[in-house]
Structure 1
Amino acid sequence: MMSETPAQAGRREPLPETRPVPSTELVRRDDFSVFYRTEKKRLIAFLIYAGARVWEADDLAHEVLSQLLPDRWKTLEYPRAYMRKSAIRAYLRQNERTREIPTDELPDLPGGIDPVTCVELSEQTNAIIDAIQQLPPTQRTVMAFVMSDSDTAEIAEALNMAPGAVNTNICRARARLKTTLGLMKGDNNA
């Protein structure tokens, strides 16, 4: 079921360490497999910030990207924005139902590699994810978009909110995160 490395007990899948890619940046239209591999990692990170568990994020990312199969994704002007919008809607719909937790052991990756040994996050990354998870749902969702380098207009359109409401939620979420993470004015990390 999982194509990316699953989470170890109490740990989360590593979030991609890649340069920010604006969702409005045009993408090459001739190689869906490259788009899939690159964007799936970013989409998983986005969904984790939104509150999904790693296995949920992986499943939803695959589902959303499968809907963009080569024929459809070529027709979209901004496939990254469409992908995140579809992913957050699928996650919120899924969240309305009972959440399932897998109980079976996780399969090895191709080549016999145990996926549990592949996962490690820094303390700082874990702290940030945990802090985002504590935000109210709307703020958490808005911050997931912010962490994915979405602009206010894109967030407003995706969540059917006024841009002013998006900015208010961003400000409130950042204030809560600073408090939760212990970041104060004058602190170099703030």
Structure 2
Amino acid sequence: MNIHDPGDGPKLPAVASATANQRGQQHELRQAKDEAFSAFYRATVRSLVGFLINQGAAVPVAADIAQDTMLSAYERWNTIDRPRAWVHTVASRALLRKMVSCEEQPVEQVPETTSLLADTDMIGEWEARHDLLPLLRALPDRQRQVLAWALSGFTPGDIADQLGMSDEAVRASLYKARRAVTAAIKGREEGQ
């Protein structure tokens, strides 16, 4: 006796269809993630390099740290609540680790240019046009760090949250940094 219920038909195509739907949804989610991250990357990476330069990094070092930070951000993209603050925090910490490690990595040739590092001749011209860089580099580390965050558009409250400082300490460091930069600019002008 052959008992056959038409409802017991082949289930394999239904499973394959469900798996295909899942793959399609995963593809759409990944595509949405890639598009969102790409927009964030384009809007943020150059200013992140500038932020690191303002903290005392050389241009090639700043570009490398920014790229590494962006790679980490992409890997964690779905778990990051405030991506702009996150990349600035991670990059700042990476720069501090690099500065503290005191590792020298001599090279025989200047690294090849990338989209983040324009023509190497242009780097020197860019630095020369930015008179603020030598002034920033003359500041104590904490003042330079806090001022770099402020120049990147973060409020004292944001800076305090990201650096684990009190609002008062951030405001005091900003005040001292701005006062020192203003005095240096006045000194330059009087010396001319």
Please report the TM-score for the alignment, with normalisation by the length of structure 1.
0.71
C-alpha separation in 1, matches of 2:181 and 2:85: 25
C-alpha separation in 1, matches of 2:137 and 2:55: 7
The 5-angstrom pairing of residues 35-54 of structure 1 reads 35-54=40-59
Asked which structure has the greater CA Rg, the reply is 2
1:128–1:109 Cα change, 3 Å: closer
Question: AA paired with 2:37?
Answer: F
Residue pair 1:47, 1:88 contacting (<8 A) in 2 also: yes
- Corresponding residue of 2:79: 75
- Corresponding residue of 1:164: 168
1:107–1:87 Cα change, 3 Å: closer
Which of 154, 157, 160 is the aligned partner of 1:150? 154
Residue pair 1:49, 1:144 contacting (<8 A) in 2 also: yes
- Corresponding residue of 1:66: 71
Question: AA paired with 1:182?
Answer: K
Task: Report deviation, 1:122.
Answer: 6.9
Percent of matched pairs sharing the same residue: 29
1:168–1:56 Cα change, 3 Å: same
Task: Report deviation, 1:180.
Answer: 1.0
C-alpha separation in 1, matches of 2:106 and 2:135: 24
Structure 2: tracts of 5 or more residues without a match: 1-31
1:177 pairs with 2:168? no
Task: Report deviation, 1:118.
Answer: 3.3
Task: Report deviation, 1:62.
Answer: 0.8
Structure 2 residue matching 1:74: 3-state secondary structure: helix
The CA RMSD over aligned residues, in Å, is 2.5
C-alpha separation in 1, matches of 2:42 and 2:87: 13
Please report the TM-score for the alignment, with normalisation by the length of structure 2.
0.71
Aligned length: 153
Residue pair 1:138, 1:169 contacting (<8 A) in 2 also: yes
C-alpha separation in 1, matches of 2:60 and 2:111: 12
- Corresponding residue of 1:55: 60
